[in-house]
Amino acid sequence: MQVEDKAPQGKLAAFSAASKQQEKGKGNTFRNKQRVLVLASRGIVHRFRHLMLDVLKMLPHGAKDAKMESKDRPSVINELCEMRGCNGALYFETRKHKDLYLWVARTPHGPSAKFLVKNIHTMAELKFTGNHLMYSRPFLVFDATFESEPYLQLLKEMFMQTFGTPRNHRRSKPFVDHTLSFYVLDGHIWIRNYQVAKNEDTGETSLVEVGPRFCLQLHRIFAGAFEGTTVYSNTDYISPNVIRAREKLVKGGKYKSRVQEKKEAILRQQTTPKVENPFAGVFK
């Protein structure tokens, strides 16, 4: 006795095709399990905090953590990354409420790079006309200079692993509408974020800056994560403390010259003989 299948043939065919496609997709899906921990040191000022939040908005695979004590060594972040399941970290370290340093690290084995952040402009400050969808996958654009030196090639790979959105990430959007650009100029790395806009009338594609924008000056590259031997040290790097000390010396030199001029003027008045006026008693 044969039992007839009362289900429509069209639905069965569609279900079998969908199941085969799902099985095929499971076998070929590449899962890039990248997760970046973003945190700052305690005592960070509002401007630096806004920059950190703007960067976090561009990282759908980013995880925000509480502030870390400035007295602790940065190597403690390796334990935090292990607890949060992260294999990368962006650490915004503030010193003297004036200087901002950015650590880009691959945890727990390294390498890691330390940068001095300059020319900071947040999204709230710029107020450009451009805008892009939050957590959309960006194009990573690198200057050709990144291929000229070995340490720049290493930094390029670290930026790709840190800022590149993993494929098929659950929080990412299925399209690309902005670019994250890295340029090397005057010994600094300039980072810009542009929206990919298309003119509906002409059909031309243009780039509109969205922000944030900031500049990185490399300090050192370490073999480990927040520790280890120094792989590369930038000889052109000058500490902000040294720059401020030089400025104080220049201002102090100007003050000393003014004081010396006043002393010489007083001395000239005292040593110069007084000449009596012959017409002093005429007009009385």
List Cα–Cα distances, 127 to 33, 121, 170, 210, in angstroms: 34, 10, 29, 8
Judge whether 92 and 40 are in contact, CB under 8 Å.
yes
Of 98, 129, 92, the C-alpha closest to 208 is 129
Q: What is residue 1's predicted lDDT score, i.e. its pLDDT? A: 44
Q: What is residue 28's predicted lDDT score, i.e. its pLDDT? A: 52
SS3 call for 185: strand
SS3 call for 232: strand
Q: What is residue 200's predicted lDDT score, i.e. its pLDDT? A: 81
The tens-digit pLDDT sequence of the chain (284 residues) is 444 444 444 544 544 454 445 444 444 554 667 899 999 999 899 999 999 999 999 999 999 998 888 778 888 999 999 999 999 999 999 999 899 999 999 999 989 999 999 999 998 887 777 788 888 889 999 999 999 999 999 999 999 999 998 888 888 887 888 999 999 999 999 999 999 988 888 888 888 899 899 999 999 999 999 999 999 999 999 999 999 998 888 888 887 888 888 888 888 888 888 777 777 777 76
Burial class (CB in 10 A: 0-12, 13-18, 19+), 88: buried
Spacing of C-alpha 248 from chain mean position: 29
Query: Strands 62-64 and 36-40: what pairing?
Result: parallel
Of 117, 144, 146, the C-alpha closest to 215 is 117
What does the alpha-carbon distance between residue 182 and residue 156 come to, in Å, rounded to a whole number? 9
> Dihedral through CA 207, CA 185, CA 220, CA 216, nearest 10?
-40
SS3 call for 130: coil
pTM reported for the whole predicted model:
0.78
What does the alpha-carbon distance between residue 136 and residue 157 come to, in Å, rounded to a whole number? 21
Domains in the chain, ordered, with CATH?
36-242 (3.40.50.10480)
Q: What is residue 262's predicted lDDT score, i.e. its pLDDT? A: 86
Q: CB neighbours (10 Å) of residue 100?
A: 24
SS3 call for 72: coil
> Dihedral through CA 77, CA 78, CA 83, CA 88, nearest 10?
90
Q: What is residue 77's predicted lDDT score, i.e. its pLDDT? A: 92
Judge whether 77 and 39 are in contact, CB under 8 Å.
yes
